[in-house]
Structures are given as structure tokens and as C-alpha cells.
A and B are shown apart, each in its own frame.
Chain A
Amino acid sequence: MNKIAVFMTVVAIVSGSVANVWAKFPEKPIKIVVYTKPGGAGDVFSRKFAAIAKQYTDANFVVINKPGAGGVMAIKHILKSPADGYKLAFVTRSNIGKIVSTGSNIDIEKLSWMALMVSDPEAIITLKKSPINTWEQLVADAKAKNGKQIWVGPASGGNDHIMAMKIWEAAGIKTKWVPYKSGGKAMAALMGGHGVAYVGNPQDVIGRPDLKVAVISSPARIGGDFSGVPTFKELGVKGLDNEIMWRGFMAKKGLTKESYDFYMELFKKVNQNPKWREHILKGGATPVFYKEDRFLDIVRQDQAEFTATLKKLGAIK
């Protein structure tokens, strides 16, 4: 009896310490590589993530900024680093667009698309006080102006422009795309009445009472402040039921199972954290946790879509 107890204790200690040897990831700070400059949207998102993740692990997180070429530089930096699990990268859908439009040789299959954390429905944003601020009014005006209606947004061939082209095609209208340096400048142009629509996400109108979301691309209406916003589906526009702008994290392929599992556990916990959910929901987006299989599918699909559209525009060969 006694011997068994001693044996059990020894087993417990040995297995415990073995488990400890295996469970020691991470043993140094984890770097989150962000493609925006400090203070940019991606930087803010990553720091928020780090602050909440800190509650579940002793690991330290360091956000490092590697701006350049709309994310291509940051991804190249990840590809050059060892796959030891100490570097995560913040990624968004627009990075995929940049990989395509810059003609860079980045192979998305060499990256491990670990977690898609936020899904943000694409939306048409209009000026409240403009006489053209609903979907019906936009379509009617576009038809009346016959190609002279103006939509504003960031550079041609980017995420928003491609979304706009899909919308025009679905609605059977022709309009002009007037590109601005950034989303913020384009929204200023919308507020000044230089265009009638902007393609963005619900979060763009938060804190800007002049603007409203006219339509969202979502299978069903979203809640909160946006419960009054119709979806394309409701309006009878086909093929735009689930267009999203996503945000997530990836790393270089080849992580050990141990470090991979550590992250999966961490992403799961952050995703369920009430403060995290509140922060994301407040921005009109949805906190989600899509694992690698689903995430990679989305990335492949996006890459194919960007390639096809940019070829059509003549921006790439």
C-alpha cells in the first residue's frame, strides 16, 4: 500500500516534470509583427489582443512594426525568420490584395494561417443629409447619371475598389471610382459631398454622425446600432451575401505541435473573453475563431479573386 503510494507519487512527480519540460513554450517574449506604423489600425488591434492574451499566459508580447508595401514587407520578414513560433504576424484581407498587386513571389502555402479572429461585413456608406443615401436612391441616381455618379475610396485595384466593382456588376450600374490616398481622406470627400458612396465597414461610421451605413453584405442583419441596416439579400441583390474584410494572425509554417497548440488554446480563450468581444462588436464587426483549414480556404479564394479582378483591370499581367 505504502509502496504503491510512493510509486504513484514518483510517477506523478516524474510525469509532472516531463509535462513541464514539454509545456515550457513560450520561454521568451513573443513578437507580433504588424504591417502598419505605430498607432495604425492594425497596431491598435494587435496591442489590444496582446493586452487580453496576457491574462491567460505568462508570456510577454512585443508588438513590432514592419511597415512597407501594404504588408508585403512584414510577410517577407516572417518568411525570413525561423519557424520557432516566436513570431506571429497580424494579417488582413488587404494584404492578400497587395501580395497579388505587387507581383511579389510570396507563396501563401508557405505560411500557417493560424486564426481568423474578426469578420467585418463589407458595407456601402453614404452621407445622411445627401438626397441619395439609400440603396434604391443610389441605383436610381446611377442610372439617371449614366456612368457619371461618383464613388470615393482608396486606390484602384484595392480591396474596396474590387468590392465596389462586384456591387456595380450585381446591380447592373456604371459609376466612376475616384481614388484617394487613404480611406480617411475618401470619407472626408464623401462628407464634403464630392462623391455619393464609399465602400467600407460599419466601423467607419462610428463617431461620425454625418455618415450612415446604407447596405451591408451579410447573411442576416447585424445587431446593435446597425440593426436598421438592410442586407443585399433583403434588397434582392444576388451574390453579395457574405463579403467580409477579415483580420487574423499567421506564422511561418513548421511550428512544433506544442507551440501550435499553445496558440490555438490562446486564440480560443481570447475569442471568448468578454472584453475582447465587446471591443470587436463595438466596431460593428464579429469576433470569430476560424482555424487553419477554413482560414486557408478563404485566403486562397481571396487570392484567386484579386488575381482575376486585377487582370481584368489591366493592373497585372
Chain B
Amino acid sequence: MELFDSILMGFGVLAGWKPIVVIITGVIVGILAGAMPGLSPSTAVALLVPFSYTMPPGLALILLTSIYIASNYGGSITAVLINTPGTPSASVTALDGYPLTQQGKAGKGLGIALIASTIGGGAGVLILILFAVPLARIALKFSPADYFALALFGLATVASMGRRNVLKAMIAILFGLLIKTIGIDSISGVSRFTFGSDALYEGFSLIPALIGLFAISVVFSKIEQWTGLNCVLSKVDNKLPSFKEFLKVRMTILRSSIIGTIIGIFPGAGATIAAFISYDVTKRTSTEPEMFGKGSMEGVAAAEAANSSSVGGALVPLLALGIPGSATDAVLLGAFMLHDLVPGPLLFRDSPEIVYGIFAALIVANFVMLILGLFGNRMFIRVVSIPDAILYPLILAIGIIGSFAVNSSMFDVSACIGFGIIGWIFKRYDYPVAPVVLGIVLGNMVEENFRRAVIMDGYGIFFRDKLAFTVLLIALLSFIYPFFKQWRTRKR
């Protein structure tokens, strides 16, 4: 009952017009920033940190967390409409969301992404409120060997991504892993493959690579196929998913929300890994796995429910222990410090109104997001009706600005265009680009945790650590299974 009182107190903090205006502002900023390629959730929150300095601490954090939760949904809008993930995790949404748009069902794609994000976001927050402290304690117990196993499990999802050709998907993921070997090696502190260049010291940033691979590559393909005619998608349907369609994916949303929250809790994992794993799990358990990659609503729902629910999960270690669980958490930690607050167990005791105010605000923000999203979808969908001659130059311009925005560096812009060319070559020869993102996201996690585990306990640890061993075994099986299935169908 104590918890119930605390939550009531949290909602009490929201009384009055100011907090509501702040939440609505946060959600709008979050959706727009999320939709903008280049502004990832962490950048969006970071940009507003200085702005929040003059606000009272409670309101400032409500603003920032509202942006955080809404930006994870925002990324799906551009992913579905123009195949340009606004956030890294939305690259999974694009796998099925964009095919829906190509079939003229953009309204369904956007609608299901919105509903899945709302439910996922809410589920993540609920788990955060109820189990923050015990969950955070369990997550701490995971050793480097366990993290390595989890990351490898993430990599094994590649097998479900190569629509026809698993080999091509594997080449793509290896390319991503190789890219990630460039830059400082955070175990030994030695720089690798930088050729003495300062710009490469920290390796390639994810965002410019993402924009290049997904968005700029499409622009190049369009130039190649340019016929001089202004083609516009003839059918644009802004019809939302029907209630029946929603019911069909309800279990997917629920399951993906739980997967997303749990993965979000692990410091170092996060929205993108959550989306990839939940997409993979959904595809394996689906009754229509052949629809994945061709416009499956289940696929969109899995990705979006997982990335939005990971927000609640990522806040668990931050609020319960004062340990940032994601890049955005690290920025939020800075925002707390700016207001002379220290997140962690003592914050629950010393400033409960702030903690429960944030909880209440996250719940309200989800509803605000749903309402704004329903209105916004009608507007967003018009993007698809923009003639190609205007849309693609616009994508190029936004992509370049977005890449520059990450670190205010021209190097990132060149990298973005370079990845654009690579992405174009990949598309030309029918290699999937999503595995490259998976490789880049998981590269460090796999390598560092493997080396850490070996430094700590030697190579035998992967057999001695029961949890790591089990997860590795599952990863191996889940990797082999699609090959086995292919082989069996061929035999028939």
C-alpha cells in the first residue's frame, strides 16, 4: 500500500498546468527528434539538458524522461514511411514497416507501431515501478561471461534476418563487426586501425553509419534508377489497423514488452538489441514466419514494443542503483547532477516526489504520445505523397545534417556518405543492411565481455558458468536451426 500512496503522491506532483504542458512539450520534442535521423534518444535528451537548467528539478526531469520515452516511438515514423530509421532501434521496425508503406498500407504500419510503443512503454514503466530494486540487483550479478553469452545470442538472431540467403546476412554482420574493431580498444587502451587519425580514434559513430546504410543508400539507388518521371506511390492508405488486427498481435506486443524491459535493464544492452532479439523470437514463434520482411504487422509490433519498453528497463539501474543503463541514462545522470540530485536508492528516501513524479509522468507521457500519435499520423503520412524529385534530395540533406549533429564533425558526414555507397552496393547485390547495424551495435559487447571473462577466469569460464553455458547453447541451436530447416526442405 505504501507503493500505492507513493504513486498517488507522484500524480499529485503532476497537478496543475505546468507539469502537463511540460509533458506535452517533451512528448512532441521526443517524437520529432526521434523521427529525425541523427537525433537519437540520447542526443535529443542531451540537447534539452541545458534548457532544463533553469527549471525546477522535478519539472526538468519530467521533461527529459518524456522526451526519452517518446523519441523511441518517433524513430518508427521515418522508418515506416521512408525506410530511414530515426533511431538505431527503429532499423528493426523498418524491416517490415517500409514494405507495408510500399504496399500502400502506411497507416497500418504507423498505427501498429504507435499502439505497440504505447503498450510497450507502459509495460516497461510498470515493471520499473514494481520491481526496480530486486531486478537491478539480479542484473548486477551477471558476469562478463553471461554478457558475452547474451551478446552472442543477439548475434545469432542474424540467422532469421537473411530472407533467402543466410550467408549474405552473415557477411553483412561480419562487416558490421569488422567496422567496430576500428578505434580505441577499451580493454588495453591501444588504438586499432586508426592509421594515426584522430577522427578514427573512437571508431565510426553508429548514427552516421545507420543513416548512410539505410537512407543515403536509397537515394543512390533512386539516382541509379532515375527515369525522369516523377513517380509517387499511387495508393496511400491512412487507414489504421482494425481491432481484429490489433488482437492478432496482442500476444506479440506483450511478449516483446517483457523481452524489451528485461534487456533494457542490463547496463550496456539496450533498445536496439532488445528490438533485434524480440523480432527474432517473434518470427520463430509466429504462425506466418514467411511474412517477415515483407510487411508483417507482427514484425513491426515486436520491434516497437521492445524498444519502447526498454526505456523503463534502462531506468531501473539508474534509479535503483545510480548506474546508467544506457547512453540516454548517462545523460540523465548528468541532468540529475546539474540539479544537485544524485540518482540511486537514496533519492527514493530524500526526494520521493522527484522519483514518483517521474514515474507518474512516464505513465501520462505514454497516453499523451498515443493521442498525439493518432493525430500526427494523418500528417506524417503525407510525407509519402511527396514527389521523388523532392523527397530524395530532402532525405540526403536531412541525413547530412543529422550526421553532422552527432559530434559536430565533418568526418561523420563523410563517413555517412561512405556508408551510403556501401549500403547502395549491398542493396544492388541483395545483401541485407540490418545485420550490419546489429554487428556494429553488438561488436564491442561481444569482444569486450569475452576478453574480460578470460582475463578474470580463463577460457574455462564459459563452461563453468552455468548461465553463460546455457545461453551459449541456446544461441548455437537458434543459429543452426534455420540451416537445418532449409536443408530438410531441400531434401524433400
Contact = CB atoms under 8 A, between A and B. Distances in A.
Interface of A: 37-41, 43-44, 47-48, 51, 63, 65-69, 72-73, 76, 101-104, 150, 154-158, 161, 176, 178-182, 184-185, 187-189, 191-194, 206-210, 279, 282, 315
Given A188-B323, A209-B346, A176 B456 contact: yes
A185 B268 CA distance: 8
A38 B198 contact: no
A47 B338 contact: yes
A184 B323 contact: yes
Pairs of residues from A and B, 8 with the lowest C-beta to C-beta distance, nearest first? A207-B342, A39-B334, A39-B331, A192-B140, A157-B189, A38-B46, A207-B344, A69-B201
Contacts of B455: 176, 178
Given A180-B452, A184-B333, A208-B321, 12 more contacts: A38-B46, A38-B47, A39-B333, A40-B330, A40-B331, A44-B337, A68-B202, A72-B198, A157-B188, A178-B144, A182-B330, A184-B267
Interface of B: 45-47, 49-50, 53, 140-144, 184-191, 196, 198-199, 201-202, 267-268, 317, 321-324, 330-335, 337-338, 340, 342-347, 407-409, 444, 448, 452, 455-456
Contacts of A48: 338
Q: Which of B185, B199, B345, B452 is the most central at the interface, judged by chain A CB atoms within 10 Å of its CB?
A: B452
A192 B137 CA distance: 8
Given A72-B201, A102-B198, A315 B49 contact: no
A47 B346 contact: no
Given A37-B331, A69-B198, A72-B201, A178 B456 contact: yes
Nearest to A210: B321
Nearest to B328: A39
Nearest to A66: B408
Nearest to B194: A102
A181 B268 contact: yes
Contacts of B184: 69, 155
Contact of B186 (A102, A176, A179): A179
A104 B201 CA distance: 11
Contacts of B342: 206-207
A185 B267 contact: yes
B324 A184 contact: yes
A40 B184 CA distance: 20
Contacts of A192: 140-143
A279 B335 CA distance: 15
A76 B201 CA distance: 14
Nearest to A42: B334
B338 A44 contact: yes
A282 B346 CA distance: 15
A181 B180 CA distance: 14
- Between A65, A179, A206, the greatest number of chain B beta carbons within 10 A of the residue's beta carbon is seen for A179
A209 B190 CA distance: 34
Contacts of B188: 155-157, 179, 315
Nearest to B64: A39
Contact of A156 (B187, B317, B324): B187
B46 A37 contact: yes
B50 A63 contact: yes
A194 B456 contact: yes
14 contacts: A37-B331, A39-B333, A44-B337, A69-B201, A76-B198, A154-B186, A155-B187, A157-B189, A176-B455, A176-B456, A179-B452, A182-B330, A184-B323, A209-B346
